[in-house]
Amino acid sequence: MAEYRWDPAWAGDGVMAVEASYAGPLELTCEPVASVWSHDIVTVAKSERELEQTVQGRSVTLRWHASAGAARVEMVTAPRPPA
């Protein structure tokens, strides 16, 4: 769990944002509810025939209105299946 606090006066009508990168299943619980941006983290390698893209993980950016002044995030991972 992560807790964030900030002075709500610092950004007027702006936003507070935090980013996390991860691989595997992840469940997020945000209080207050956050706007979520999520994207694959991709590497690119050149093979003999083409460029190959491999998804390495995910990036998630959580955004709250700055006027909230505080937020809490709980991140729960699922167990990985045996190899």
Q: Tokens 């709500």 map to which residue?
A: 8
Tokens for 62, please give them: 């959580």
Closest listed residue to residue 45, CA positions, set 55, 32, 36: 55
Better pLDDT: 32 or 13: 32
Tokens for 8, please give them: 């709500």
Structural domain spans, the chain: 2-77
Report DSSP letters for 54-80, one per residue: EEEEEEEEEEEEGGG-EEEEEEEEPPP
Write the single-letter amino acid at 21.
S
Per residue in 30-76, pLDDT (tens digit) is 999 999 999 999 999 998 889 999 999 999 999 999 999 999 999 99
